[in-house]
Amino acid sequence: MNISSSVGVWVGAIAALGIYSVLVKDNPFYRLVEHIFVGASAGIAIVTGIQTFKSQAWSPLTGGQWLLIIPILLGVLLYARYVPQYSYLNRLPLSLMMGAGAGVAMRGAVESQIVGQLTATMIKLDTLDAWIIFLGTLLSLSYFFLTYKLEGGAGWAPKLGRYFMMAAFGAAFGNTVMGRVSAAIGRFQFIFLDWLGM
């Protein structure tokens, strides 16, 4: 064993053990580490915000880009919501943000998430995979055909669609489990390899 002499590694390892201790039972050590984590996250967010303001707004403004005063003032107006008689003013920057956000997203959304995905289902049905994609799409859509209930002879379509979706949820859940196990592996590697040097 070659135990780390880095203070940062020791703090990280003790904090990881503190968080894992909740798996046995809720305890003060866990709550202490949790509160430190929340506090540190808030601190990082504030520092990041200040740095972003300096680099994206203040430095260019004082460097001669005077038009930046407009978005800076609009940003300040977001805080008008905390002053009841002027709270209506925060609607202006909010509206602009929502409009700009929607506009930027719309630029490719229709093509990437509707047309592109629809086109991907219009394929030559010469493989099993192609048939699964084709039928899975149609039958899953039939499950959400809510204008009237498909019953009797047509009732099998939404039922099969539900099975296709359940298979997809199973795949997604399996990947989620894999991701969570990976997170644990990362911490264990940190504890055993980086901290304890095993």
Partner 1 sequence: MNVLEKLQNIDKRVFYLLMALAIAIPTVSPIGLAVDVTPAVQRTFDFVSTLPEGGRAVIGFDYEPGDEIDLNPQAKAILHQLGAKKIKVVAIASFPAGAMFAEQCLAILEEYGYEYGKDYVNLGHYAGGEATLAAFANQPTAIYSKDWRGNDTASLPIMKEVKSMKDFSMAMTLNDGPTGGTGTHEWVRQAVMAHNVPLIMGVTGVLAASNETYVQSGQCKGILAGLRAAAEYEKLVDKLGDGTVGMDAQSMAHLLIVAFVILGNAAMFLSQKAKPASKGGAA
> What residues make contact with partner 1 under the rule CB under 8 A?
23-24, 44, 48-49, 52, 55-56, 59-60, 100-101, 104-105, 107-109, 111-113, 116-117, 119-120, 133, 168, 171-172, 175-179, 181-186, 188-189, 192-193, 198
Distance CA 11, CA 34 (A): 13
Distance CA 119, CA 85 (A): 52
CB 21, min distance to partner 1, A: 11
The angle formed by the CA atoms of residues 129, 135 and 141, to the nearest 5 degrees, is: 135
Q: Which is nearer to partner 1, 101 or 155 (CB)?
A: 101
Q: Which is nearer to partner 1, 39 or 101 (CB)?
A: 101
CB 84, min distance to partner 1, A: 29
In angstroms, what CA-CA distances link 138 with 99, 128, 141, 152? 34, 15, 5, 18
Q: Which amino acid is at 56?
A: Q
CB 56, min distance to partner 1, A: 7
Token duo for residue 154 = 């047509």
Q: Which is nearer to partner 1, 38 or 171 (CB)?
A: 171
Distance CA 75, CA 70 (A): 9
Q: Which is nearer to partner 1, 27 or 112 (CB)?
A: 112
CB 159, min distance to partner 1, A: 22
